[in-house]
Amino acid sequence: MKPPTLMRVGVVAVAAVLFMLVLGWWQTRDGDRQAAGILPLPIDQMSFALTDQSGDTVQPKDWLGRPTMVFFGFTWCPDICPTTLSDISIWLEEIGPEADRMNTVLISVDPGRDTPEILGDYLSNFDPRIIGLTGPLPQIEQAVDGFRASFRKVPQDDGDYTMDHTAGVFLFDADGRFVSIIDYHEDYRYAVPKIRRALE
């Protein structure tokens, strides 16, 4: 009887240690992220004023009271931005009318080319619930900072330029608290439940 008990104790001890290690890693990871300013601010602590495709001014406080989904991009982007927009259109369609009570927002990181009219023209090809925001560069920078995101202008061989930018989709609940990020290329099976969690 003794050896199995000892073994059981051993197994439990190892499991407990592993659990603490994982928990510790998890907590420090989130702690480090918060300390390093990597987690987005709650929406009510963000501050910027941008213009949507209808020409209306949008500030973070306008989003409070509704769950919010935000991502960054630009319309001169050939690969990932149309892909993200089409992914989001598919998610919104899958969620259905419930997604009507959500703010779904694209913030352009390329205000030099993306005027409100150009954004509106481009977004008319995707789900009509997607709002496009642009504005003066300092306001865009302030918005990006609030999400702890980043972007950078990259010159190209033809004299043109492209933009590097944070590719994830940020989710906030109706009180403006950060819920989670949908990473680029995350499986739909995980994306839609994450959005539903923000909708709860």
Partner 1 sequence: MKRIFATLALIAAAGPALACETVTVGPLEVSQAWSRASIGTARPGVVYLTIRNSGTADDALMSITTPAADMPMLHQTVMTDGVASMPHAMEVPVPAEGQVALEPGGYHAMLMELTQVLEEGETFPVTLTFRDAGKVTIPVTIQNIGASEPTCPSPDE
Which positions lie near partner 1, rule CB under 8 A?
75-76, 78-80, 82-83, 85-87, 89-90, 121-122, 125-126, 149-152, 154, 156-158, 160, 162, 164-168, 181, 183-185
- Closer residue to partner 1, CB minimum distance, 88 or 102: 88
187's tokens? 């499986």
- Hunting for tokens 């001890």 — which residue is that? 13
24's tokens? 């510790």
Closest distance of CB 156 from partner 1, Å: 7
Closest distance of CB 112 from partner 1, Å: 13
State how far the Cα of 78 lies from the Cα of 61, in Å rounded to an integer. 32
Closest distance of CB 124 from partner 1, Å: 9
- Closer residue to partner 1, CB minimum distance, 19 or 190: 190
Closest distance of CB 79 from partner 1, Å: 5
Query: For the purposes of burial, counting CB atoms within 10 Å of the CB of 155, is it exposed (0-12), middle (13-18) or buried (19 or more)?
Result: exposed
State how far the Cα of 107 lies from the Cα of 134, in Å rounded to an integer. 6
**Nearest C-alpha neighbor of 53 from the set 132, 136, 139, 137:** 132
Query: For the purposes of burial, counting CB atoms within 10 Å of the CB of 186, is it exposed (0-12), middle (13-18) or buried (19 or more)?
Result: middle
- Closer residue to partner 1, CB minimum distance, 151 or 172: 151
Closest distance of CB 104 from partner 1, Å: 15
- Closer residue to partner 1, CB minimum distance, 122 or 172: 122
| Phi, psi angles (nearest 5°) of residue 146 | -60, -35
State how far the Cα of 10 lies from the Cα of 13, in Å rounded to an integer. 5
| Phi, psi angles (nearest 5°) of residue 136 | -65, 145
State how far the Cα of 135 lies from the Cα of 108, in Å rounded to an integer. 8
Closest distance of CB 146 from partner 1, Å: 16
- Closer residue to partner 1, CB minimum distance, 84 or 103: 84
- Closer residue to partner 1, CB minimum distance, 70 or 181: 181
